[in-house]
Each structure stands twice: as C-alpha cells, then as structure tokens.
Amino acid sequence: MLKNFKDFIRDEEGMGTVELILIIVVLISLVIIFKEQLVKLVESVFEKIVRQANTI
C-alpha cells in the first residue's frame, strides 16, 4: 500500500496539463486586471497607424 502511494506521488503523468491550465489562468487574470490599460494601449497604437497611413 505504501509503495503504491509513493509511486502515485512520484508519477508525473498529467503534470503538463495542470501546468498549462495554471498558465492559462494566470494569463486570463492578468488580462482582467490590466484590461483598461491594454485597451488604451491598443487604441493609441491604432490611432498612430491611422494617422501615419493618412499622411502617405
């Protein structure tokens, strides 16, 4: 029984999935936290692109 428990603890199968889910959760959290700043940044970048495109 103890050997099975130790094998279960050492088993790393599926860890990639857990790590991927944690990374996605962190990225989504960052987007939610900094949403307002990101929107302002994207808007200013597009404004510059449009202004410079009009000058050409």
Q: What is the pLDDT along the chain (56 residues), one digit of tens a residue?
A: 777 777 776 776 666 777 888 999 999 999 999 999 999 999 999 999 999 987 76
Q: Is residue 6 part of a domain?
A: no
Long-range contacts of 29-38 (CB under 8 A, 24+ apart): none
Q: Is residue 43 part of a domain?
A: yes
- The Cα 19–Cα 25 span in angstroms is 10
Q: Is residue 40 part of a domain?
A: yes
For residue 41, give its domain range: 15-55
Predicted confidence at residue 5, as pLDDT, reads 74
Predicted confidence at residue 43, as pLDDT, reads 96
Predicted confidence at residue 7, as pLDDT, reads 75
Question: What is each CA distance from 18 to 2, 12, 15, 25, 33, in whole angstroms?
Answer: 25, 10, 5, 11, 23
Number of domains in the chain: 1
Look up the pTM and report it.
0.50
Q: Is residue 26 part of a domain?
A: yes
Q: What is the DSSP letter of 13?
A: T
Q: Is residue 21 part of a domain?
A: yes
Q: Is residue 25 part of a domain?
A: yes
Q: Is residue 2 part of a domain?
A: no
Q: Is residue 29 part of a domain?
A: yes
Closest CA to 30 of 49, 56, 22: 22
